[in-house]
Structure 1
Amino acid sequence: MSIGRIDLNLIKVFDAVFEDRNLLRAGKRLNLSQSAVSHALTRLREVVGDELFVRTAKGMVPTARAIAMADDLRSSLRRIEATLGVEPFDPRQSTRRFAIAANDHLTVVLVAELSRLMAVEAPHIDLVIRPSTRIDLAEQIDVGRIDLALGIFAQVPSRLSARTLMTQGELIVMRKGHPATRRKLALHDLARYPLVTVSVGGQEEGAVGGFILERGLARQAEMFDRHALEEALAGIGATPRYRTTVPHSLAIPALLRGSDMLSIMPSSLARSLAVGGDLLMREPPYPSVLSTFRGVWHSRNDHDPAHVWLRECVASAAQQVA
């Protein structure tokens, strides 16, 4: 295949369709009609000798060949654009759409603040929040379906980049009028009263030490430090009772209001849930564990102006939350 047969615009069409999985959305991003995008794909298919994308009920699904060439091809396109200074990014005028992976906790406390910031700085940009707990997160980042993943990551592979957003400890939440609110919370309270905890994967899903490892990316599976709690209670000869385990943190208030259960969670989530006044917060009666929340993205987007802008917005939102 001669390089002279390759039109750079065809690579841009491939990039847009690969990310959006939809000809209409890709066309809007490129200011092209759907038929123009389809025609460009036909030309590229002829050059490459592969179908590249297959139309299905779920959108344009890339072939194995498209997936194999996507990473290097899209990374090269970003470098060319950065070198030539083309495709300037103006957040006030841009109509881009970004996909962020986050759990419900970070959606409430961080993405909500991000949305407020973007409403002022980028009124035409859309956000799509996808669950970071129910997908192969590393693969979604690799193929460009996720622009930025938010969470606690114990391990980040070299092909991905990461940025620290905020560090916080844990708080214990209970209903107003709970017997344990009449005095300072003690270790024996955590043995006496059952717990409601958040977990999105146990050992049966491959979790090790509270983290799930996928393609080199280890993401947090539990929203509290189980080891710190159990070690503290072992010191008084006790063990915790995990009565209720849920996959979503926003179910916790309803579970606490009608029971004497306690819940251990990140401090920012605790503050958010306690705003109404019917839930109370207490410091843990053992050394509070500090967790670092980070944003993770593919390294091919390190210097992309739009992605750089998005990450700065997320960092600003995290500062407000912290």
Structure 2
Amino acid sequence: MNTSKGSKPPPPPARTRLDLNLLNVFDMVMTERHVTRAAERLDMTQSAVSNALNRLRRQFQDQLFVKAAKGVQPTPKAISLWPRIHQSLEELQDAVQPRHFDAASTRMRFRIAMTDITAALLTPHLHQCVHSQAPLATMFFVPDDPTVTGARLMRGEIDFVISIHPPRASIVQSMPLWSDALVAAARCDHPLLKSKLSLAAFCEAPQIAINAPGDDEMPGIIDTALDNRGLKRNVSLSINQFSIVTTILRDTDLITVLPARFTTPPYSHGLLATQPLPFSVPDVVVYLSWHQRSGNLPTHQWFRQAILEAATRFNMQTDKYFRGK
């Protein structure tokens, strides 16, 4: 190597110049995971978005997106690039033109993962809170599966998670919406619930077990509590949906365990009787979670507030019923 005195070090390689419009396309396709929807939100033609993606592929020397059953799937390279690109675009937007969110005109589509019971309890209030201010906004619910929901939130496939199992990650923020006691439930004239329920009677009674993930390898809170006492309940039917349980209980002698708020008349239609469980289990807590990259977005802040307002209305409605019992 020539290190003669007076020689100058070689200049650093020139930085690759990036078109900001291309990064906006990348960010939107990552958000939507669908070229057509990204084009609609960018007010571009689908072919223009496809051309932009081809330029990005040459720029980053990576495929970035591959076709999937429903839209496109980002490559590992695209996933690694997105957080910094997204954050940089947000900071640049805020510096140049601080955004004002106009709920009355927004056509945003908010994607939320939750179980069917959470949807049943919260949706009437949430729909009212959202559409009273944003009549053109839409909501899209997907099932909450704890084994994949966290990853979907990281990838930007969903905006929020409402679950008793909030994703565990340092870049996920969560807050509680409500807590609920678990109770034994059956049809109104079920003889087992006409008096105090004993532990032996509970374990012997034919029951419905509700396993929302549909995974036999994931025991629920009830079975874990009984197992810690060396006990086991008599499960004759396992289901993964809360929405059908009232109909099944109404026409059978089965009992089950439900969140107390789900057994109130607005949701059980007055068809269920309840008793406290004859053993101790902690209350379940329902959390709202979101990725921190979205925490300062005006659209997300507004929708998060709508969820909190809906949860407050739900709590007030069910608390009023419990006070009147």
- Bigger relative contact order (CA 8 A; separation at least 6): 1
Greater Cα shift, 249-258 or 289-298: 249-258
| Distance change (3 Å), C-alpha of 1:135 and 1:188 | closer
Report deviation, 1:20. 1.4
| Matched pairs, number | 303
Q: Secondary structure, in 3 states, of the residue corresponding to 1:35?
A: helix
Selected match of 1:226 from 223, 226, 232: 223
| Distance change (3 Å), C-alpha of 1:154 and 1:67 | closer
Report deviation, 1:134. 7.7
Selected match of 1:62 from 63, 66, 74: 74
Report deviation, 1:32. 2.0
The aligned counterpart of 1:217 is: none
The question of whether the paired residues in 1 share the 8 Å contact of 2:22 and 2:52 is answered with: yes
The aligned counterpart of 2:163 is: 151
Deviations 1:98-148 (A, max 9, x none): 110001111111133212211111111111101112861111111100110
Letter in 2 for 1:28: E
Report deviation, 1:317. 1.1
Q: TM-score, with normalisation over the residues of structure 2?
A: 0.83
Confirm whether residue 271 of structure 1 aligns to residue 245 of structure 2: no
Deviations 1:172-224 (A, max 9, x none): 2101211123323333331231221211458764x3xx5xxxxxxxxxxx3x5
The aligned counterpart of 1:216 is: none
Give 1:245-260 correspondences, 5 Å limit. Answer: 245-260=238-253
Structure number with larger C-alpha Rg: 2
| Distance change (3 Å), C-alpha of 1:65 and 1:144 | same
Report deviation, 1:4. 6.3
Confirm whether residue 132 of structure 1 aligns to residue 144 of structure 2: yes
- C-alpha RMSD over aligned residues: 2.5
The aligned counterpart of 2:29 is: 17
| Distance change (3 Å), C-alpha of 1:272 and 1:104 | farther
Give 1:182-201 correspondences, 5 Å limit. Answer: 182-201=194-213
The question of whether the paired residues in 2 share the 8 Å contact of 1:29 and 1:95 is answered with: no
Letter in 1 for 2:104: R
The aligned counterpart of 2:182 is: 170
The question of whether the paired residues in 2 share the 8 Å contact of 1:196 and 1:262 is answered with: yes
The question of whether the paired residues in 2 share the 8 Å contact of 1:101 and 1:132 is answered with: yes
Counterpart CA distance in 2 for 1:35 and 1:150 is 36
The question of whether the paired residues in 2 share the 8 Å contact of 1:187 and 1:286 is answered with: yes
Confirm whether residue 160 of structure 1 aligns to residue 193 of structure 2: no
Selected match of 1:119 from 119, 124, 131: 131
Letter in 2 for 1:320: R
Give 1:10-89 correspondences, 5 Å limit. Answer: 10-89=22-101
The aligned counterpart of 1:91 is: 103
Deviations 1:226-263 (A, max 9, x none): 344555xx4xx864212221111122123212322211
Report deviation, 1:88. 2.8
Counterpart CA distance in 2 for 1:247 and 1:126 is 26
The aligned counterpart of 2:307 is: 314
The aligned counterpart of 1:240 is: 233
Q: TM-score, with normalisation over the residues of structure 1?
A: 0.84
Letter in 1 for 2:142: R
The aligned counterpart of 1:285 is: 278
Letter in 1 for 2:154: D
| Distance change (3 Å), C-alpha of 1:201 and 1:124 | closer
| Distance change (3 Å), C-alpha of 1:167 and 1:54 | same
Letter in 2 for 1:43: R
| Identity over aligned pairs, percent | 27
Structure 2: gaps spanning 5 or more residues: 1-12, 316-325
Structure 1: gaps spanning 5 or more residues: 211-221
Counterpart CA distance in 2 for 1:156 and 1:134 is 10
Letter in 2 for 1:40: A
Counterpart CA distance in 2 for 1:90 and 1:167 is 32
Deviations 1:140-179 (A, max 9, x none): 1111001101111276211211111111211221012111
